[in-house]
Amino acid sequence: MKYFLPVFFLALFIPYTLLAQVDREPPENMESPTLRVQSPNRIFGKVLDNNQKGIQSASLQLFVRKPGGDSIVAAQLSKPNGDFNFENLPPADSFRIVISALGFGIYDRFIVPESQGTPGVNHFQRDLGHIVMD
pLDDT per residue as tens digits for the range 51-73: 999 999 999 999 998 888 899 99
Of 3.30.870.10, 3.30.565.10, 1.10.3720.10, 2.60.40.10, the CATH number of 41-132 is 2.60.40.10
What is the spatial distance between Cα 48 and Cα 69, in angstroms, rounded to a whole number? 29
The structural domains of the chain, with segments of one domain joined by +, span: 41-132
What is the spatial distance between Cα 96 and Cα 45, in angstroms, rounded to a whole number? 14
Torsion-angle region of residue 117: left (phi > 0), alpha (psi -120 to 50) or beta? Answer: left
The yes-or-no verdict on residue 92 having pLDDT over 60 is yes
What is the spatial distance between Cα 134 and Cα 130, in angstroms, rounded to a whole number? 13
Which stretch of DSSP H or E encloses residue 14?
A: helix 4-20
What is the spatial distance between Cα 45 and Cα 128, in angstroms, rounded to a whole number? 5
Q: Would the pTM of this model clear 0.75, i.e. be above it?
A: no
CB 62 within 8 A of CB 97: yes
The yes-or-no verdict on residue 24 having pLDDT over 90 is no
